[in-house]
Amino acid sequence: MQLSGPTLNNLYPAAWGQFTRPGERQCGVVMNRGLDGAPETEMEVVDVRLVDQRPGTVFSLFDDFDDLENDCTTRPLEFDAAVRVCTDSTPPVVLPPPVDGAGTGCRMGLTIDETAARTENWFARLLVEVEMSCTSPALRPCDAEEVRELEPTPAEPVVVRMTHDTRVFACFALPPGTPEPPECQEARSSGGWLPVSDR
């Protein structure tokens, strides 16, 4: 499983969830690469949502990808292969098992409003919740203690849910030559997969 956004097309030094100007649009993808050692696993994106927006609501998700070169300041290499779309209005989205080693995925777009004041620093979190079936406690993430205790088998699989937490931010209010505020530093270094839980 992979959730990514940074592009490698050399258009700009941008990173998924880190905005540098009002009106910027970013494109990311949720990829199903299967469980470690079990690539045939199906994955379902069950929830996508933006939370904890402050000091106001300026970030939103979009699903129109008409002009990728101009609209997306980030776009991962897998984006063109991901034909499904996952936003806050589309889940659940089922991602089939990878085919011939290539992952399957769904696209998502993230933007900041053009009216977002440059005199403020803006923050939010993008939570993407996915669900998979564990048929063995030997494979990550099925080796989590909560799952191992349930002793998953092919006959009695254990469904697990995982949530990826992306810190979304725009640190506009930084006068030249001043150090980055602690809350911007914290946002830049936080996020990732939250602990696995069985459903």
pLDDT in single tens digits along all 199 residues of the chain: 555 544 333 343 468 899 999 999 998 888 887 666 565 678 899 999 999 999 999 999 998 887 666 667 777 777 777 778 888 877 789 888 777 767 788 888 999 999 999 999 999 999 999 888 888 887 777 888 888 889 988 889 888 888 889 999 999 988 777 888 888 888 888 777 776 665 5
**What pLDDT, on the 0 to 100 scale, is given for residue 53?**
93
**What pLDDT, on the 0 to 100 scale, is given for residue 11?**
40
Q: Cis (ω within 30 of 0) for the bond into 97? A: no
Residues spanned by the domain of 188: 2-198
Q: Are strands 2-4 and 43-54 parallel, antiparallel or unpaired?
A: unpaired
**What pLDDT, on the 0 to 100 scale, is given for residue 49?**
93
Strand partners, 49: 127
Distance (Å, rounded) from C-alpha 98 to C-alpha 104?
6
**What pLDDT, on the 0 to 100 scale, is given for residue 8?**
38
Distance (Å, rounded) from C-alpha 178 to C-alpha 135?
52
Strand partners, 192: 165
**What pLDDT, on the 0 to 100 scale, is given for residue 13?**
40
CA nearest to 2, candidates 25, 36, 26: 36
Strand partners, 43: 95
**What's the domain count of the chain?**
1
